[in-house]
Amino acid sequence: KSKIKQNLTAEPTRIASQTGFFCSFFRKILTNDYQLLKMSSRKGLEMKYTHEIIDKTTCYQGFFRLERYRLRHNLFAGGQSAILTRECLERGHAAAVLLFDPALDSLVMIEQFRVGAMEAPDGPWLLEFVAGIMEEGESPEAVVRREAVEEAGCEIQELVPALRFLLSPGGCSEEIYLFCARVDARSAGGIHGLVHEGEDIHVRVVAVSEALRLLEKGKITNATAIIALQWFALHRDFLLARWGNGGD
C-alpha cells in the first residue's frame, strides 16, 4: 500500500500504464483518505451545513448573467456568519467529451480562440476538447453528441460518463458534465464550427502519448481539458479493455 501511495505523484504517462487493479485500488485510497480527512476535520463540530439567501439582484444580463447575492451561512465554530455580499456569474451548465479512437491510440482535440485567454502567456488559441452549453431541457449526453458533430465532425459510437465538477465555484455557478467517447478518427481534421455563432475551430488528431506529454509540460491550460486528460490517464486501461482495438 505504501508503495502504491508513493506512485500517486507519478507522471501521467506512467499512471496511464498501470494495471486496472491499480486504478481500482487508487480510487479506494483516494476515497478512504477523503473520508478520514472529512471525519478528522469535522471531529467535535456539529455544524449544520445550511445557508440563507437574503436577497438577489441581477447586475448584468447579456449572453451571461451576473447576480449579486446577500447571504449568510453557518460557521464551523458555531453560529452564523455576518451578512455577506457575493457576486456570481450565472452562465448555465455545460457538457464536455474526450473523443478517443482506441484503434489509433489517439484523441480528437480542438483548437480555438478564447477571449478570456487574451492576456495568457501562451496566447488565446487553446487546445481543448469538444464542449457545449446545455440548453434548457437538454441532457448532457445530447449536448456532447451534438457538439461532437458540430465542432469536430465526429459521430460518437459509444459514450462513457466520467465525472461532474464545478469549474470556478468561488464566483461562477457553472457545472461541467464530462464524458469519454469512442470515435473513428481516421477522417477527423479540418476546420469546423457554426459560422453564424462565430466559431472557427481547428480539429487535430493527437496521439495519446503526445497529449499526455503536453499535459505534463503545462502546455494545455484549459481546466476542463486538464481534468479530462487526468481522468483519461487513470481510466485508460478500463477503456481499452472495454473497447479493445477499435471496439471489436
Say if 129 falls within a structural domain.
Answer: yes
Q: Is the pLDDT of residue 248 over 70?
A: no
More confident call, 128 vs 9:
128
More confident call, 41 vs 147:
147
Say if 59 falls within a structural domain.
Answer: yes
Residues 217 and 230 in one domain: yes
Q: Is the pLDDT of residue 10 over 60?
A: no
Residues 199 and 215 in one domain: yes
Residues 239 and 137 in one domain: yes
Residues 98 and 210 in one domain: yes
How confident is the model at residue 244, as a pLDDT?
Answer: 83
How confident is the model at residue 20, as a pLDDT?
Answer: 43
Summarised one tens digit per residue, pLDDT across range 89-140 is 999 999 999 999 999 999 999 999 999 999 999 999 999 999 999 999 999 9
Say if 232 falls within a structural domain.
Answer: yes
Q: Is the pLDDT of residue 239 over 80?
A: yes
Summarised one tens digit per residue, pLDDT across range 152-208 is 999 999 999 999 999 999 999 999 999 999 999 999 999 999 988 888 999 999 999
47: confidence class by pLDDT, cuts 50, 70, 90: confident
Say if 7 falls within a structural domain.
Answer: yes
Residues 154 and 124 in one domain: yes
Say if 192 falls within a structural domain.
Answer: yes
Domain containing 215 — which CATH number? Answer: 3.90.79.10
23: confidence class by pLDDT, cuts 50, 70, 90: very low
More confident call, 180 vs 30:
180
Q: Is the pLDDT of residue 4 over 60?
A: no
Say if 181 falls within a structural domain.
Answer: yes
What residues are designated binding site for Mg(2+)?
131, 147, 151, 199
The percentage of residues in the chain with a pLDDT greater than 90, rounded to a whole number, is 75
- Average of per-residue pLDDT across 23-27: 44
46: confidence class by pLDDT, cuts 50, 70, 90: confident
Residues 125 and 60 in one domain: no
What residues are designated binding site?
131, 147, 151, 199
Comparing CA positions, the residue from 178, 163, 170, 84 lying closest to residue 128 is 178
How confident is the model at residue 138, as a pLDDT?
Answer: 96
Residues 31 and 86 in one domain: no
Instruction: Check 90, 197, 210, 216 and give the catalytic one.
Output: 197
Domain containing 164: what range?
A: 94-243
How confident is the model at residue 89, as a pLDDT?
Answer: 97
Domain termination residue (choose one: 59, 75, 90): 90
Residues 11 and 34 in one domain: yes
Which cell numbers in the block locate residue 78?
A: 458555531
Residues 196 and 99 in one domain: yes
Say if 248 falls within a structural domain.
Answer: no
Residues 81 and 31 in one domain: no
Say if 17 falls within a structural domain.
Answer: yes
- Average of per-residue pLDDT across 210-225: 97
39: confidence class by pLDDT, cuts 50, 70, 90: very low
How confident is the model at residue 21, as a pLDDT?
Answer: 37
HEC assignment per residue over the chain: CHHHHHHHHCCHHHHHCCCHHHHHHHHHHHHHHHHHHHHHHHCCCCCCCCEEEEEEEEEEECCCEEEEEEEEEECCCCCECCCEEEEEEECCCEEEEEEEECCCCEEEEEEEECHHHCCCCCCCEEEECEEEECCCCCCHHHHHHHHHHHHHCCCCCEEEEEEEEECCCCCECCEEEEEEEECCCCCCCEEECCHHHCCCEEEEEEEHHHHHHHHHCCCCCCHHHHHHHHHHHHHHHHHHHHHCCCCC
How confident is the model at residue 187, as a pLDDT?
Answer: 93
Residue 197 known to be catalytic? yes
Query: How high does pLDDT run on average in the chain?
Result: 86
Residues 78 and 111 in one domain: no
Residues 111 and 212 in one domain: yes
Instruction: Specify the number of domains making up the chain.
Output: 3
C-beta neighbour count of 106 within 10 angstroms: 22
